[in-house]
Amino acid sequence: MLNMHAKNKMRGHQRVPSGSREFKELTKRDAQTQLAHELEGLLATTVDDETKRSVEQEFQGFKRLFERFLLDKDSTISWDRIQKLPENAVRDHSTLKEPASEQLHAMLNKLVVVKLNGGLGTSMGCHGPKSVIPVRSELTFLDLTVQQIEYLNKKYQVDVPLVLMNSFNTDADTQKIVRKYRGLQVKIYTFNQSCYPRINKESLMPIARNCDVENDIDAWYPPGHGDFYESFKNSGLLKKFLEEGREYVFISNIDNLGATVDLSIADLLLHTDEKSPEFVMEVTDKTRADVKGGTLIQYENKLRLLEIAQVPKEHVEDFKSVKTFKFFNTNNLWVKLSAIDRVLSENSMNIEIIVNNKSLDNGLNVIQLETAVGAAMKSFEGGIGINVPRRRFLPVKKTSDLLLVMSNLYSLQNGSLVMNPERMFLTTPLVKLGDNHFAKVKEFLARFANSPNIIELDHLTVSGDVTFGRGVVLKGTVIIIANHGDRIDIPAGAVLENKIVSGNLRILDH
């Protein structure tokens, strides 16, 4: 290349630098051509025809995603074009009516429940799918979900199927686990979301050298839950459920223990005099703990999800404002099956791309192109938000969330967590546990002799080497900070109300 360049210079044909737009277009076209070539090479490493067909189908989706990433449209929004939410954009859950009992049977048989089950429990120090972490009475997220659906099916004599969207990280383990539910009154289906190659940040080319994912797991990734729609259709399940006369799918994260089938929302969708909305997003009131959660906005005369990644830097504080944006997305979604089929057939699904930068253990910088399932809202007609009570949003992302769901704040009824009536407030306590000593489930469990009584707790902060004896009661605001090298043991039966404990405190049994 250098020689060519020198040759041109000598002849007096120095090339005029192309305009930056033209340069970008040329490099984008080159990247697309090069990517297609690389994917062909990967495809040639598949072991049999069936695998090849399946991988080829996924690569088509990846190429479309990559092309949209290069075009770089819709990733940020123009802040001054955000419109005020229209009057009826968000309905209040309390205004919805309970369905008549004679309608329930026909109504529930039109429903499919999908749980997003692609995540691992690594951030909480666990191996395997997050859905198999025990959360209450030795029952896992998956156990509780299956219990909920079985109870629904038995109570109303219906056949609501449970569908798990796995990733290549969780599929094998999940397949082994679901066998134990065979005798229960719930049909369980699984399908896998796509498996895409990670891209080298510098060259924009896949880092994978062959399609043997298990032996080169760092080279591949699941592209976020926005991949649901296409993978659901590719699995054949969308067609199957439409042929069965099913009408709506209720999608939620498997680690959200509040995301049960809501009969009032199902009634709104399946027994409405007006045209039923094709897409419903459950939102709830934003608190200071939720400032980074996606919110609903009206943009270009359509209701859509706005994530913090799309917000221009100078407006991030506006986005976090509880006054400006009152709601945030719980990721509990209700979508019309026939509308999913139509939007995919028309190729009109347009989901913003989330560019996730990662550094691998070998120091290589890669990017993952991901999408979010709720961002598809703008591709559907008549979308609405429903402002639901906080009890429908009980995610377990950290051990601080685990402390809440294991505690006496809740009782377990047919797989659902029900708030203790003795709790005076509708909100849950704000709990912050220090990462160094509490982040992993095993460490967290070792630090509590049993779950403390937190019925009257508002706020708990714990940092450092702290342990709790049996029967501890926490009320109001409690802050416990053990300085570096110190240890604090809260003795059995202690009652801490509006207390700050710091320094070094050890009470020895004798």
- Could you tell me if 92 and 264 are in contact, meaning their C-beta atoms sit under 8 angstroms apart? no
The CATH class that applies to domain 79-392 reads alpha beta
Instruction: State the SS3 of 144-176.
Output: HHHHHHHHHHHHHCCCCCEEEEECCCCHHHHHH
Distance separating alpha carbons of residues 504 and 196, to the nearest angstrom:
50
Q: Can you give the residue ranges of every domain in the chain?
A: 79-392, 399-502
**Residue 185, CA distances (Å) to 116, 139, 188, 319 in order:** 21, 18, 10, 45
3-state secondary structure of 447: coil
The position carrying tokens 């009206």 is 298
Residue of 233, 302, 397, 432 marked catalytic = 397
Task: Specify binding-site residues for substrate.
Answer: 225
* Predicted pLDDT at 384: 93
Distance separating alpha carbons of residues 298 and 83, to the nearest angstrom:
5
* Predicted pLDDT at 3: 39
Both tokens assigned to 51: 């695998």
* Torsion sign across C-alpha atoms 140, 144, 145, 149: positive
Distance separating alpha carbons of residues 27 and 33, to the nearest angstrom:
10
Distance separating alpha carbons of residues 339 and 60, to the nearest angstrom:
22
- Could you tell me if 449 and 429 are in contact, meaning their C-beta atoms sit under 8 angstroms apart? no
- Could you tell me if 464 and 443 are in contact, meaning their C-beta atoms sit under 8 angstroms apart? no
* Predicted pLDDT at 19: 57
Distance separating alpha carbons of residues 366 and 364, to the nearest angstrom:
6
Q: In tens digits, what is the pLDDT along the chain, a chain of 510 residues? A: 333 333 333 333 444 444 566 655 666 778 888 999 999 999 998 888 888 998 999 999 999 999 888 886 555 678 888 888 888 899 999 999 989 888 899 999 999 999 999 998 888 888 889 999 999 888 999 999 999 999 999 999 999 999 999 999 999 999 999 999 999 999 999 999 999 999 999 888 999 998 988 888 899 999 999 999 999 999 999 999 999 999 999 999 999 999 999 999 999 998 766 688 999 999 999 887 777 788 999 988 889 898 888 888 888 888 888 888 888 999 999 999 999 999 999 988 888 898 889 999 888 999 999 999 999 999 999 899 999 998 999 999 999 999 999 999 999 999 999 999 999 887 889 999 999 999 999 999 999 999 999 999 999 999 999 999 999 999 999 999 998 888 999 999 999 999 999 877 654 443
Can you say whether residue 231 is alpha, beta or left, with left for phi > 0 and alpha for psi between -120 and 50 degrees?
alpha
* Predicted pLDDT at 14: 41
* Predicted pLDDT at 489: 93
* Predicted pLDDT at 16: 41
The CATH class that applies to domain 399-502 reads mainly beta
Task: Specify binding-site residues for UTP.
Answer: 130, 193, 224, 255, 397
* Predicted pLDDT at 323: 81
Task: Specify binding-site residues.
Answer: 130, 193, 224-225, 255, 397
What's phi and psi for 30, nearest 5 deg? -65, -45
CB atoms within 10 A of CB 480: 21
The position carrying tokens 């969308």 is 238
Which one, of 245, 252, 264, lies nearest residue 109 by Cα? 245
Residue 366, beta-bridge partner list: 200, 358
Q: Is 240 a catalytic residue?
A: no
Distance separating alpha carbons of residues 138 and 453, to the nearest angstrom:
19
Task: For residue 131, give the DSSP letter.
Answer: G
Distance separating alpha carbons of residues 461 and 289, to the nearest angstrom:
14
**Residue 310, CA distances (Å) to 74, 200, 313, 362 in order:** 8, 23, 9, 30
Distance separating alpha carbons of residues 27 and 23, to the nearest angstrom:
6
* Predicted pLDDT at 506: 56
Q: Report the greatest alpha carbon distance in the chain.
A: 95
